Amino acid sequence: MPRLEELIRAEAVRVDVPAADRTAAITAAGRLLEQEGAIEPAYTRAMLDTVAEHGPYIVITPGFALAHARPDESVHRTALSLVRLAEPVAFGHESNDPVTLVAALAAADAGAHQEALAALAGVLAEPERRRALDEAATAEELREVLVREPERPAATGGHGRRADRTAPPEQAPPADPARAEEGTVPSKHLILTVCGNGVGTSLFLKNTTEQVLDRWGWTPYLSVEATDTISAKGKAKDADVLLTSGAIAQALGDVGVPVEVIENFTSTTEIDAALRRLYAI
């Protein structure tokens, strides 16, 4: 799988980009991918259409938006761009506005970019590096913040993902979710993370959820699958819970299983609390 530094080329990073609204901000990020030949203009239009249809769910953490659309023939290769806006822009997200950083993700398929997105999620979850993204003086410095390896090794769970060093030292849950509490509904051993297309923000949420499960020791018992809204409705009956944004939750409606709204897709603390409510621990 390509690493983050391979997906985001120097030519696809800009600072102090003017944008009057979210349409202009997403368009600016898309144009960078167009200029380097990663996508056709049709993909930029598709990213805008996705937000028009599903709302500002792409604002996955305070100040940061991840624009993306479904893989199609307008994507020539998997790539990522990043613009830092000259002035903050309101995207319409209740909790995470205003936006200062906009990334555009073009995925040639549904899986090749997962490792890179996990690395990006790690940068956004680390307060010092997140602050450095806002303070970088040039595009070169901004890209360096993204792609450099952490100076200190972070604690990891069973699959090598970063543990959240800011997470509260709560008591570990039972070793098996089926034993969480007598009388509860048996687990189906599946959690769905949902976004409009299943290839961008849902992967961020999947990565953070897996960090929580790693810390709990529940990885052998629960699988986490990133999916899109249409597929989620069909798969919901096989899952314990759907994790998603407020806008996507409204679009999903009643799917017959709990739907937990997550505001900050990089916060293990928020997802930890949501899963503890679900599994009564």
205-252 residue pLDDT tens: 998 999 999 999 999 999 999 998 999 999 999 999 999 999 899 989
Q: Give the closest residue to 81 by CA, choosing from 15, 19, 127.
A: 15
What CATH number is associated with residue 182? 3.40.50.2300
Asked if 213 and 267 sit in the same domain, the reply is yes
Asked if 133 and 255 sit in the same domain, the reply is no
**What's the domain count of the chain?**
2
Euclidean distance between CA atoms 260 and 126, whole angstroms: 24
| pLDDT of 90 over the 80 cut | yes
Give me the long-range contacts of 45-51 (CB less than 8 A, separation at least 24). 46/70, 46/72, 46/74, 47/104, 48/23, 50/196, 50/197, 51/22, 51/26, 51/91
Average pLDDT rounded to a whole number, residues 56-74: 92
Higher per-residue pLDDT: 180 or 91: 91
What confidence score (pLDDT) does residue 74 get? Answer: 95
* Contact status, residue 243 vs residue 193, Cβ threshold 8 Å: yes
Asked if 142 and 181 sit in the same domain, the reply is no
Assign 172 a pLDDT band (cuts: 50, 70, 90).
low
Any domain includes 170: no
- Domain finish residue from 147, 168, 189: 147
Residue type, 72: D
Segments forming the whole domain that contains residue 222:
177-278
Any domain includes 154: no
Q: Any catalytic annotation for residue 68?
A: yes
What is the percent of the chain where pLDDT is above 70?
84
Asked if 142 and 215 sit in the same domain, the reply is no
What CATH number is associated with residue 40? 3.40.930.10
Any domain includes 200: yes
Over residues 125-165, the pLDDT tens digits come to 889 999 999 999 999 999 999 888 655 444 334 343 333 43
What is the secondary structure of 165-189 as a DSSP string? TTS--PPP--SSGGGSSTTSPPP-S
Asked if 194 and 134 sit in the same domain, the reply is no
3-class secondary-structure state, position 13? strand
Asked if 9 and 133 sit in the same domain, the reply is yes
- Average pLDDT for the chain: 86
Over residues 40-50, the pLDDT tens digits come to 999 999 999 99
What confidence score (pLDDT) does residue 191 get? Answer: 97
Asked if 115 and 26 sit in the same domain, the reply is yes
What are residue 243's phi and psi, to 5 degrees? -105, 130
pTM more than 0.85 = no
Asked if 13 and 139 sit in the same domain, the reply is yes
What confidence score (pLDDT) does residue 167 get? Answer: 42
Over residues 254-266, the pLDDT tens digits come to 999 999 999 999 9
Asked if 15 and 90 sit in the same domain, the reply is yes
Q: Give the closest residue to 81 by CA, choosing from 116, 55, 42.
A: 116
Average pLDDT rounded to a whole number, residues 18-26: 98
Average pLDDT rounded to a whole number, residues 61-86: 94
Catalytic residue among 68, 76, 113, 159: 68
Asked if 190 and 272 sit in the same domain, the reply is yes
Asked if 138 and 10 sit in the same domain, the reply is yes
